A and B are shown apart, each in its own frame.
Chain A
């Protein structure tokens, strides 16, 4: 069981299953949404995810067609993304986790849009956008 919570502690969630596809995204929307160099996220099955407390505090903003990013309206912590086009999976920002998820980001994506003030110095694969299928 993985636990996560926002900064003020008003919102808490639990993830009962494994996380998948952890990566760092440098797209401008992720950088803006998080106000950070990049977003680290993983996929979580919707059936494994449960709000334990404070679901009513989560404000959702549709940041592109069908993608909704949720944050705590009290403290602004970024908590979850859900997709109208893929209901079985959520996108989980790793920063709100209270437990070590075990998984580690395995690549950088949307590096073509990387912040000019940030340099990637690890050895993970870097893709200009999504990696080729």
Chain B
């Protein structure tokens, strides 16, 4: 069981399985939404994902076609990145995790849009955009 919660504690998630495919995303939308150098997400199976409390607090913003980003309406914590075409997957912002997910980010994506004030110094693969784009 991996638990997650927002800063004010109103929204709580429980993930029964494992997380996979953790990536640091440097796209301008992630940087804006998080107000940070980059966002880091990993995927949970929707079947393993449960909103333990605060469902009514979750605000949704459609940041591009078919993509919904969620945040806590009370404290602003960034929570999820959801693809409307893939409801079986929930991408969770790792910053809200209360437990160690075990998984570690293994790549940087959208590095072409990276913040000028942030330098990547690790050895993970860097992709200009999204490597799996079809």
Residues of A within 8 A of B (CB): 5-8, 22, 24, 29, 31-40, 59, 61, 63, 69-71, 73-79, 93-97, 100-101, 103-105, 115-119, 121-123
Contacts and interface: CB of A to CB of B under 8 A. Distances in A.
B57 to A, nearest CB: 12
Interface string B58-84: 010101000001110111111100000
Contacts of B117: 22, 40, 94, 97, 100-101, 103-105
Interface of B: 5-8, 22, 24, 29, 31-40, 59, 61, 63, 69-71, 73-79, 93-97, 100-101, 103-105, 115-119, 121-123
Contact of B76 (A5, A76, A117): A76
A6 B8 contact: no
A36 B34 contact: yes
A122 B119 contact: yes
A27 B78 CA distance: 16
A117 B34 contact: no
Nearest to A41: B35
Given A29-B7, A40-B118, A61 B75 contact: yes
B4 to A, nearest CB: 9
A3 B22 CA distance: 31
A36 B69 CA distance: 14
A6 B34 CA distance: 10
A73 B122 contact: no
Contact of A121 (B35, B71, B122): B122
Contacts, number: 158
A61 B105 contact: no
Contacts of A95: 31-32, 34-37, 115
Contact of B105 (A29, A105, A118): A118
A78 B40 contact: no
A39 to B, nearest CB: 6
Nearest to A102: B117
A75 B61 contact: yes
Nearest to B76: A71
Given A36-B93, A121-B121, A96 B35 contact: yes
Nearest to B117: A104
B105 to A, nearest CB: 7
3 smallest beta-carbon distances between A and B, as pairs: A78-B35, A35-B78, A76-B71
B61 A34 contact: no
25 contacts: A7-B32, A22-B117, A24-B37, A32-B6, A32-B75, A33-B76, A34-B36, A35-B78, A35-B79, A36-B95, A37-B95, A59-B74, A59-B76, A61-B74, A69-B76, A78-B35, A79-B35, A93-B35, A97-B115, A97-B117, A104-B119, A115-B95, A117-B105, A118-B105, A121-B123
